Structures are given as C-alpha cells and as structure tokens.
Chains A and B, each alone.
Chain A
Amino acid sequence: EPEVTQTPSHQVTQMGQEVILRCVPISNHLYFYWYRQILGQKVEFLVSFYNNEISEKSEIFDDQFSVERPDGSNFTLKIRSTKLEDSAMYFCASSVSGGVNEQFFGPGTRLTVL
C-alpha cells in the first residue's frame, strides 16, 4: 500500500541553524501539506501546496518557513533560523485532490532545537 514517507525521523539542531525536513508524498497525489504538533498539543496546520505554489498558509507559517517541491517526488519544509519554540513533530500529508478528500499522513519528523 502506498504511503507518505518522511526523513529524518528525528532531527536535533542548534538554535539559529537552518533545517530541511523532507517528505515523499504518494506518487499520484497532487496536494501536499505540512502540519506541526508541539508535544502534548493539538495538530496545527502550517501550509498547503498545489501546482507548485502555496494554496494556503497559517499564521504560524511566517517568513522563516518555506516549502518547495524540488523534483517530481520530494516535498520539503525549510526553517531558516530555528527557534526553541520550533521544537515539535512535523507531519507531511498528501491527498489526491483538495477539498474534502482524505489526507494521508507521514510518520513525522521530530525536531528538537537546543
């Protein structure tokens, strides 16, 4: 069964450093998403991406964040200058189409900022 994959599973970085979180969505999916879950809290929407551009972003997704689909398979989230409060689990998701269709989630990347 096709699945969304994410690498690395755990990333530790120093405050102020740049990190890139990688995701490989399901191959025939067209919509891609990043969500964040701070430990013990709810899952929060960051950004959606379609047709090589951002469809929607939340207030969390400020200028330090960017997303890219550099090739036909990867979907990346870059955090330019990490802060302590960026420590969280980051989930990638994809769906065949937008709207009310089911999103398939990856296993997540745990980011720890020291």
Chain B
Amino acid sequence: GNSVTQMEGPVTLSEEAFLTINCTYTATGYPSLFWYVQYPGEGLQLLLKATKADDKGSNKGFEATYRKETTSFHLEKGSVQVSDSAVYFCALSDQGTNAGKSTFGDGTTLTVKP
C-alpha cells in the first residue's frame, strides 16, 4: 500500500534560518505529492503540490521538488519567519483504484523563535 514518511520533529529554528523537512513516499502508481500546513487550532491548508516527476511546487517561499529516483519530496525554505510556526504534513494522492484518497505522513511541528 501507499505510505509517507516524514522526518521526526519537532523542529525548532531561529528566524531567518534555513528549513528542510524530509519526506519520502511509497506508492504503487504515479502519485501527486502535496505539502499541507496546519496552524494552531485550524484546519489543513494546501501549501504546495507537484503532480509529476521533476516538478517543483512553490508557495510563500517554500519549495519542494518531486524526485522519483529517490521517492522524495523534501520541503525547503531559505529564511523562515515566526509566522511559519505550524505543523507540516507531507501527503500523496495516487490515482490507482483509490478514488483519490490522500495518505498523510505523521506531521512535523515547526517552531520558529525570534
């Protein structure tokens, strides 16, 4: 079956530090890959996505590149802000026979200190 593995958290960084959150996946078909962000007390918001190999998703300074050869979709940001403090979920959606259900990683809690 499908699975998503994220680096364990929590991650604590100082403002303007470089962020990497690792994500690797296992899928039977050709998945689309997503990063979602969950701010405290809120729901899930799509941060960025990539639908095929070598695609780069980007939004709000965050980037992730779909690497089929390493089955990875690592999230990066060059300079984090306090407002980026949240839980980040890597997810995949595989067309297969799964009617598009999403499989999520465990989530990584990011805390950015001023």
Contacts and interface: CB of A to CB of B under 8 A. Distances in A.
Interface of A: 31, 33, 35, 41-45, 48, 50, 55-56, 91, 93, 95, 97-108
B12 interface: no
Main secondary structure of the interface of B (DSSP, over half): loop
Contacts of B31: 100
The 3 closest A-B pairs by CB, nearest first: A98-B100, A100-B32, A55-B99
Contacts of A100: 30-32, 51, 93-95, 100
A28 to B, nearest CB: 16
A45 to B, nearest CB: 5
A107 B102 CA distance: 17
A108 B32 CA distance: 23
B93 to A, nearest CB: 5
B107 A98 contact: no
Query: Which of B34, B101, B104 has the most A CB atoms < 10 Å from its CB?
Result: B101
Given A42-B107, A101-B93, A33 B44 contact: no
